[in-house]
Structure 1
């Protein structure tokens, strides 16, 4: 059995980059603190895949929806790196094949609530993403009834734009309609 050495200090972005790759868990960095959680289960992945499919068929050709890409919210020490379940970014930026995105390139961040992420997604990430200036933030809750809470940035804070369990229609980051019921099998 091998021993994993965990950081015993706050991490910089360079130290985050130097961590060994591990796809068995999900990693984020919150003000230098390494956060480890289990990989999402099937329904979570279904929701991400279906939402990406729905968005990518409607987004203008200059935008794309990507699942599980790194998002740097702060590159100064101590760093914060989140991994939203889905992000909408400009296709021109995606074509540069960045290892991660910065908040100024993200038009929409989406989090799918997991049993251990409810407060993180609804309170902390809501605040972090708004402070980073991301124009839109959606929270997908898979508890019955499945719902999406869509927030839009207004004067530096998110305002709830819609909370639906059937069909979501928004204009930011583009005119989009999402069949919420299709996000679960």
Structure 2
């Protein structure tokens, strides 16, 4: 018998969210204290994320790690206020950040994230391109990539541009080459 989650009676802090633990089906995120439930991704989504992680892993500088599907406290509110925790498809962080989480518990912090990647799912286009883009920029995450696996596969690479949030040069298809946050070349068609 599956356990049915009970809706909280108040807006949650990050600490209260973490006390809930894993939910059996799908995954949860916390947005301004509100618990959001999402279904598990489809296989094509997971495959694209995995293939991108493999491509990134080979290009990462020493001391950096690519981690799939992990909670990140966006640090948009004080600890005693309703918080926001997102679960990106991939994050790039330092090995030291992972050791901190193992030592202290909790989740990764936005201030520890170099790059966050979201793979667009049916129904997540607006969330990934508008809401998460604004939240990740507000959290100060230097780089945000949006991978869309519909035909043709495309990648939108965003970087912080001061007070204006993220800037981008438009989505690319075919091959993707970038120097920041680290040099990498990716065959986008191989991700599908």
Query: TM-score, normalization: structure 2?
Result: 0.90
Deviation string 1:23-76 (CA, Å, 9 cap, x unpaired) is 411100000010001011100000110010000011111211110111101352
Instruction: Identify if the C-alpha distance between structure 1 residues 34 and 183 changes in structure 2 by more than 3 Å, giving closer, same or farther.
Output: same
Which structure shows the higher strand fraction? 1
**Structure 2 residue runs without a partner (length 5+):** none
Residues 1:83 and 2:81 are matched in the alignment: no
Larger displacement relative to structure 2 (48-57 or 87-96): 87-96
Tell me the equivalent position of 1:166: 174
Deviation string 1:164-183 (CA, Å, 9 cap, x unpaired) is 11111112211111111111
**Pairwise mapping of residues 78-157 of structure 1 onto structure 2 (< 5 A)?**
78-96=82-100, 97=102, 99-156=106-163, 157=165
Tell me the equivalent position of 2:30: 29
**Structure 1 residue runs without a partner (length 5+):** none
Instruction: Return the offset for 1:8.
Output: 2.7
Secondary structure of 1:148 counterpart: strand
Distance 2:167 2:21 in 1: 38
For the aligned residue pairs, the C-alpha RMSD in angstroms reads: 1.5
Tell me the equivalent position of 2:183: 175
Q: Is the Cα–Cα contact under 8 Å of residues 26 and 39 in structure 2 kept in the other structure?
A: yes
